[in-house]
Amino acid sequence: MTTGDLYLPAAEALFNDLKAQMAPAIAFDAKLVGVFSGGAWLADRLAAELDGEHEVGYIDVSFYRDDLSTSGLKSNVRSTQIPFSVQGAHIVIVDDVLFTGRSIRAAVNTLFDYGRPASVQLAVLVDRGGRELPIAADYVGAPLIVSRDLMLALSKDDAGKFALTTEPWMQR
Amino acid sequence: MKIAIRKGRVIDPASNFDAQADVFIAASKIVAVGEQPADWHSNRDINAEGCIVAPGLVDLAVHVKRGTLATELAAAAAGGVTSMVCSPDTDPVLDEPGLVDMLRLRAQSFHGTHLYPLGALTKSLAGVQLAEISKLAQAGCVGFSQADRAVLDTQVLLRAMQYAATFDYSVWLQPEDLHLANNGVAHEGEVASRLGLAGIPSSAEIIALATHIELARVTAVHLHVCRVSTAEGVALIRAAKSSGLKITADVAINHLHLIDLDIGNYDSNYRLSPPLRSSRDRDGLRAGVIDGTIDAIVSDHTPRQDDAKQVPFGEAAPGATGLETLLSLTLRFAESARIPIHDALARVTHHAAQAAKLDAGRLAVDSVADVCVFDPGAYRLINKAGFKSAGKNSPFLGYELPGVVRATVTAGHLAFEAAA
Amino acid sequence: MLSKKNLQLNENGDLRHLLAIEGLPKRIIERILDTAESFVGVNEREVKVVPLLRGKSIFNIFFENSTRTRTTFEIAAKRLSADVVNLDVARSSTNKGETILDTIANLTAMHADMFVVRHAESGAPYLIAQHAAPHVHVVNAGDGRHEHPTQGLLDVFTIRKYKKDFTRLTVAIVGDVLHSRVARSQIHALTTLGVPEVRVIGPRTLLPADIERLGVRVFTSLEEGLKGVDVVTMLRLQNERMTGALLPSASEYFSRYGLTPQKLALAKPDAIVLHPGPMNRGVEIDSAVADGKQAVILPQVTYGIAVRMAVMAILSGSTR
């Protein structure tokens, strides 16, 4: 699929690559915690399609972000749901796009307010570089260079099939 | 000093005069209107081209204290007001002849607006004991009033009115039942309910006014109703007048323009006494002015310091500054009520003077030279910096109003002249 | 008045101050309720704190005492990691004659980000909002008999939790509506959210003039007014009302307007009972009802913290 001059890989193919990387590596009972909303969809499908027993949780990082004064509070804050005990758990945070790393920092901080995990790893569909914090993913579908004036996001159609899309970056 | 006011449109509501003419003033009187007297040499020539030359305004309701006389007299002159009736709630209350003398002498020393004091009807305005109103009249009081303080004891009120009627003195009363108005800060109705402000019901005025009118009927005193604010109040006055009672009435200019909705976001400049009421009341007041039920329009000038107004609405001192906006607002009223300018001007000159039994408010040969020259077509923005009054508390801040005063002459003396 | 500005919103339509529910667009009320939902989750977990307002200074300025309300605002602010300063103005500089505006100017000079204000005079928070520095947000914690917006919001949040759909409800507010800021806030919240029938019930001496113009149906009989109702809010009756010829006695009030199980039975069987607190048992509400299964009074308190957290978070995040 293309958007103008930009070549976007097929998200379903990336998803399969990601799954293949995670399958032999993660704990049998690793918890999958998806960051709303792309990460949440990914976590649900990974939990369904990977072997093992993977309980799923969801995180909204709005309350842990560092940009309240400049970007404001997101208008559709969702509720974080962690239906298992974080204490001593092996957790994989799942997100669609890894960019500056700030969302992941906020997700880790959120998790630690629920308890002390045994380990935390990160799985992302796309790593687009541009890190502003020392954060790295353990499992990556694919790296992708995207112009800084575009936002990259995951979408899902009615049948549950994933696709990558871009939008111009909107400063508030 | 000989002053000639040239090329203006002279309007004298008392004689129905409305024509282009020159006015000639000498030694505190108007000596000629129209043709220049023989051997005339002006000390001052005022160009009134494009302006109206009218009698100086007669404002029946001004609240001043001895300490602020200088600024408030300057404000009056700037507003074209040449005669003002001053409420007895000065500080101290005007209930002794010596205090009246001091006030009048001090005012006279400014050679500005004529100040006619109202004396206190009861000592300290407390509503218990009669003041020495005969001595106060001899010292210069033109009537007797309770300011905005109700007399609770109807028997005291009856006797005070009887006593005043003995000497043909007028009694000026603002009708408000103290208990019904208790703690209220705004007109009782939808706006006060929404804003959560304690209400003063219309019946507080209606009941007090009915009482005053009945006592006036019984005592045959001349009753002047101060600051009517309800449509029903106007109806009561109309009925009382048609039954032959000696009653006159005034309305504050603020109530001809504003209503309770104008309080907006609790702006304390709209905290007035009586309170701003509903649009139905405003309609009744306007009709009352037009049909003559209400004799006079007044400013109810009440200058307040910032710290009396920059507080929550319920804690603010009521009242608005008004000497410098009375003329403009009267012109604006004439525009919106679609009445001729000379009818509106009559309510702040000749009719006002008659209601107060003052020899004022006329522009004619041999009358005292109290004249206001203003440009009816010029507009000005009302802002705090423009006020000479010590009080900048106007509910019309930010409004553009017609009528810019060019010159004011009081007793033949040029009391105010606008910068060129 | 030339024009009445909506002081609560900035030019972008974001919430800049919370002064009243009257005049708040429906989208903003819904956003506050939705955001509060997430904070309920925060308040239920082990670590009840989020770092959202870290470094912000929130000043509780209570010109009228209320330990209860002040405490809930303090808890809400602290759970957002903000610094809280409590100013008990009765015992501070305003007693020495400092004006309300001087007090505010001094506090602004101490780099306050938000003022939570309670005052005995209606409209006081508007005066403060008009004179506050541009970056300071003002929250009305109750002004005279005008409004108590966070209470109104937590009341509708509670109703939404139990009843879901506002557009099918009949809500009754019972008691001293004349003096109640809670009643006014609730009326505006309910009508804005589309509740088709809002009723006020009380003796004529306790109903404000022209109250129907706010969009409510007036009842003077509790029995008539409670028929078929989904939600009942009981207002507190203060002792002062027994003087000044408003009411003869607490016991006569209770016999006519007190909520007993028998009277509550006239409402729908699944009707819920709210009360802004503190309750006067045996005056406006019978203990059997207050402690009964239809009362949601304690959940109101819990939700009150989440709603106040939501208000503070949204205000702090609005554009300059």
Is B201 an 8 Å CB contact of chain C? Answer: yes
Q: Which residues of B touch C152 (CB under 8 A)?
A: none
Report yes or no on chains C and B touching (3+ CB pairs under 8 A): yes
Q: Are residues A69 and C316 in contact, defined by beta-carbon separation less than 8 angstroms?
A: yes
Q: Least CB-CB distance to B190: which of C2, C126, C213?
A: C213
| Cβ contact B266–C1 (<8 Å) | no
Supply the pLDDT for residue B155. 95
Q: What is the pLDDT of residues B335-354, one digit of tens each?
A: 999 999 999 999 999 999 99
| Cβ contact C319–A81 (<8 Å) | no
Which three-class secondary structure state does DSSP give residue C23? coil
Q: How far is Cα B323 from Cα B298, in angstroms, rounded to an integer?
A: 9
Whether residue B385 is contained in a domain is answered as no
Residue A68 has pLDDT above 90, yes or no: no
Q: Least CB-CB distance to C313: which of A71, A73, A114?
A: A73
Whether residue B348 is contained in a domain is answered as yes
Q: What is the average pLDDT across B38-47? A: 93
Q: How far is Cα B139 from Cα B414, in angstroms, rounded to an integer?
A: 27
Same-domain pairing of B60 and B47: no
Q: Which residues of C touch B398 (CB under 8 A)?
A: 2
- What is the value of pTM for the model shown? 0.89
Find residues 292-311 of chain C whose CB sits inside 8 Å of chain B: none
CATH code, B12: 2.30.40.10
Q: How far is Cα C313 from Cα C56, in angstroms, rounded to an integer?
A: 11
Q: What is the pLDDT of residues B290-332, one digit of tens each?
A: 999 999 999 999 999 998 999 999 999 999 999 999 999 999 9
In this prediction the ipTM stands at 0.91
pLDDT band at A53; cut points 50, 70, 90: very high
Residues of chain C with pLDDT under 50: none
Nearest to C101 by CA among B30, B388, B315: B315
> What is the chain C residue with the closest CA to A111?
C47
Is C22 an 8 Å CB contact of chain B? Answer: yes
Whether residue B394 is contained in a domain is answered as no
Supply the pLDDT for residue A74. 81
Interface test with A, best of C9, C16, C33, C38 (most A CBs within 10 A): C38
| Cβ contact A72–C317 (<8 Å) | yes
Q: What is the average pLDDT across B146-157? A: 90
Supply the pLDDT for residue C91. 55
Whether residue B360 is contained in a domain is answered as no
CATH topology of domain C26-148+302-316: Rossmann fold (3.40.50)
| Cβ contact B190–C209 (<8 Å) | yes
Supply the pLDDT for residue A2. 47
| Cβ contact B265–C208 (<8 Å) | no
Q: Which residues of A touch C37 (CB under 8 A)?
A: 79
Give the closest-approach CA distance of B264 to chain C in angstroms.
6
Q: How far is Cα B78 from Cα B61, in angstroms, rounded to an integer?
A: 17
Is C213 an 8 Å CB contact of chain B? Answer: yes
Q: Are residues C68 and C278 in contact, defined by beta-carbon separation less than 8 angstroms?
A: yes
Whether residue B386 is contained in a domain is answered as no
Chains near A with 3+ CB pairs less than 8 A apart are: C
Is C216 an 8 Å CB contact of chain B? Answer: no
| Cβ contact B266–C209 (<8 Å) | no
Same-domain pairing of B175 and B254: yes
Query: Of residues C244 and B263, which shows the higher confidence score?
Result: B263
Whether residue B381 is contained in a domain is answered as no
| Cβ contact A80–C52 (<8 Å) | no
Report yes or no on chains A and B touching (3+ CB pairs under 8 A): no
pLDDT band at A107; cut points 50, 70, 90: very high
| Cβ contact B196–C144 (<8 Å) | yes
Q: How far is Cα C254 from Cα C37, in angstroms, rounded to an integer?
A: 36
Residue A5 has pLDDT above 60, yes or no: no
Whether residue B384 is contained in a domain is answered as no
Q: Which residues of C touch A80 (CB under 8 A)?
A: 38, 41-42
Same-domain pairing of B132 and B233: yes
Asked if domains C26-148+302-316 and C149-301 share a fold, the reply is yes
Residue A32 has pLDDT above 90, yes or no: yes
Q: How far is Cα B365 from Cα B229, in angstroms, rounded to an integer?
A: 37
- Hunting for tokens 């925060």 — which residue is that? C42
Through-space distance between the first and last CA atoms of chain A, rounded to whole angstroms: 29
| Cβ contact B310–C101 (<8 Å) | yes
Give the closest-approach CA distance of C22 to chain B in angstroms.
9
Give the closest-approach CA distance of B162 to chain C in angstroms.
34
What is the dotted CATH code of the domain comprising C149-301? 3.40.50.1370
Query: Of residues C109 and B163, which shows the higher confidence score?
Result: B163
Q: Least CB-CB distance to C46: which of A60, A73, A114?
A: A114
Q: How far is Cα C294 from Cα C264, in angstroms, rounded to an integer?
A: 9
Pick from B88-102, B115-129, C206-220, C229-243: least confident: C229-243
Same-domain pairing of B106 and B156: yes
Supply the pLDDT for residue C92. 57
Q: What is the number of domains present in chain B?
A: 2
| Cβ contact B193–C143 (<8 Å) | no
Q: Least CB-CB distance to B193: which of C121, C127, C210?
A: C210
Q: How far is Cα C146 from Cα C267, in angstroms, rounded to an integer?
A: 28
Element (H, E) at C158: helix C149-163
Q: Is B300 a catalytic residue?
A: yes
Find residues 29-88 of chain A whose CB sits inside 8 Å of chain C: 60, 62-65, 68-69, 71-73, 75-82
| Cβ contact C210–B267 (<8 Å) | no
Choose the most confident range, by mean pLDDT, from B151-155, B264-268, C64-68. Answer: B264-268
Whether residue B288 is contained in a domain is answered as yes
Same-domain pairing of B349 and B409: no
Give the closest-approach CA distance of A65 to chain C in angstroms.
7
Q: How far is Cα A62 from Cα A40, in angstroms, rounded to an integer?
A: 15
Q: How far is Cα C97 from Cα A2, in angstroms, rounded to an integer?
A: 71
Which one-letter DSSP state was computed for residue C259? B
> What is the chain C residue with the closest CA to A79?
C38
**Sheet of strand C217-219: strand arrangement:** C217-219, C197-201, C170-174, C231-234, C272-274
Q: What is the pLDDT of residues A140-170, one digit of tens each?
A: 999 998 888 888 889 999 888 999 988 887 7
Interface test with C, best of B266, B309, B396 (most C CBs within 10 A): B266
Question: Domain spans of chain A?
Answer: 2-168
**Averaged pLDDT of chain B:** 95
Given B22, B300, B370, B375, which residue is catalytic? B300
Same-domain pairing of B105 and B230: yes
Chains near B with 3+ CB pairs less than 8 A apart are: C
If interface means Cβ-Cβ distance under 8 Å, which residues of chain C face chain A? 14, 31, 34-35, 37-38, 40-42, 45-47, 49-53, 313-314, 316-319
> Residue C105: which residues within 8 A CB-CB, separation 6 or more?
C131
Q: Which CATH class is domain A2-168?
A: alpha beta
Instruction: List the helix and strand counts (H, then E) for chain B.
Output: 14, 19
pLDDT band at A1; cut points 50, 70, 90: very low
